[in-house]
Structure 1
Amino acid sequence: MDVGFAGRSRHARARAKLAALWRLSLRRRSPDRTSGAARAFIGRMGLVITLLTMFGPPVVYGVWNTYALEQRARQLATVGARHLEAQLSLSLVSDSLSQAAINVLQATSIASPAVTATWVTNRQGSVLYFQGSRANWPELKVSAPIHAHRFNGALNVAISTREVFIGTCMVFAAFLLLGLGANYSFRHLPLRSLDEALRLLQAKQAQLQKQKAELEAQNLRFDAALNNMSHGLCLYDRDQKLVVCNASYVHMYGLSPALAVPGTPLTKILEHRIGKGSHEGDIPEDYLRDMLNLANENR
């Protein structure tokens, strides 16, 4: 068997195996696939944060203040209905309902600047007394029942949502600017950083690929030079184990392929040479001792 050819075949198989493992690791850690998933995640999260920043606080502000405004109107209607009941229960005049209703409606109208209209309806829902005017903004309307000795009906209050609407618009404008800042901070800036990191990673991978190709070419030149030398060459480490040898060295001493592999102890190779008769001197033991002493001195 040609030991030099066998050595080159082993090196070729080892290089092919390393190359296959390298390609597999690249496929598993493909920067394109990883960056695509990361970009999609960052884009979605940035969009969610931006939308929540822009619309969350204005919606909460509008809903909360609308609820508070409705509770204020209900309180005014309830207080006005109780006052009207009290006045009707104390008055025995026939036109006491008219006077009491006008007084209560006026008092309720001036109790809050947001109140646009107040009116009293009977049991059938017909308007009996009205105080106020039509508003240009959407209104909240509430009513409170009136249960008096001579009258059953309801006191109604209409309250404007102008302040809530304007306040919500102002909050939305403020958080719109904040949302644009959040969009830049949580979406555009991370995506830009990811692109930069991806560019650096691809450049590093390209550099590693180039170094790998140069190393493979250098190994091929080394193998070619080593196995085409006319002189035998071998190299041992400090533990007296074979690191590399060329084909000329193998043929020179008739070494078997099992001995011409890295890691073979020097003692085995010397014993093989003694067994083949390719040693100096008449006493094999002296030759083995002298070679080991020489190797120890040159270590």
Structure 2
Amino acid sequence: MDRLLVRLLRGQDLGALVFPAGGLSTEQRIDALVTYPITALGCTPSYALFLAEQAAKRGIDLAKQTKIRLTWHTGEPGASIPATKAKIEAAFGAKSYDCLGLTEIAAWGFDCDARSGLAHVHEDHCFPEVLDERDQPVRPGETGELVFTSLYRKAMPLLRYRTRDVVRLADRACPCGRTLLALDGGVLGRIDDMKKIRGIIVYPRRIEELVRPHDGVDEFQIVLRRHEGLDDILVRIDPSPGLNPGERAALCAKLDDALRVGLGIRVTVEATEPGSLPRWDHKARRVRDERTEVPF
């Protein structure tokens, strides 16, 4: 069963009225948020930002004109990236939470009210392991691949299922007092998403961590290409409509410096016309690999 459906059913079990919006357009969803006393919103982080952007175009301030108290997000690592989480919380005037999960395992983790940057694992639902490249357990503070064994699924039990998610085993306790296994920063990336550019390993999440803190970026796209015989990263940004050409150029220069320092390689940054980059109502597909031959 899809994990979003599971969460809806559990919401009903708690006595919460569930407002299904899967068949609605973005405009209808905004109208529903404004019209009805909806207090919680669940969607991908990208779609939450898109909802806010579209509402603003209609002169609607979701933080002031809705009753949203909290938002929870899945499908992407955005809600565990501080800058992305901050943008969502500012747009909705609500607390934002990362709900981590896999279709094969269901919801397996969450962040808590302590806001410590740690994701707790539901160890009563699944047994977690974090393994290195030699399939050995990593030590606290080290990164590895997240591996799960399901503890309650009867129709499709999984034994040591390799998720392909890269995580860091926490080396600190959460102030909330929970003793569940914790992951620092949630899901840091996917092994499938790992790219090698001029000898440097790059994850799309790291680029988002460096781009999102900058005001004036409504959306962005990552293009991997061959440029003058070398692998190159092109980051296209969709600037806020209110920025003039000079401000857009200054924003690109700031991002160029931030990405160069944060990634350890030089990156090309260019601004598109406002609103020209695609938006998504499900998982975002921000990465385009235009190289015909790649290292791996």
TM-score band w.r.t. shorter chain:
under 0.3
Q: Which has the higher strand share?
A: 2
The structure with the larger Rg is 1
Structure with greater helix percent: 1
TM-score normalised over the length of structure 1: 0.20
Higher relative contact order (CA 8 A, sep 6+): 1
TM-score normalised by L of structure 2: 0.20
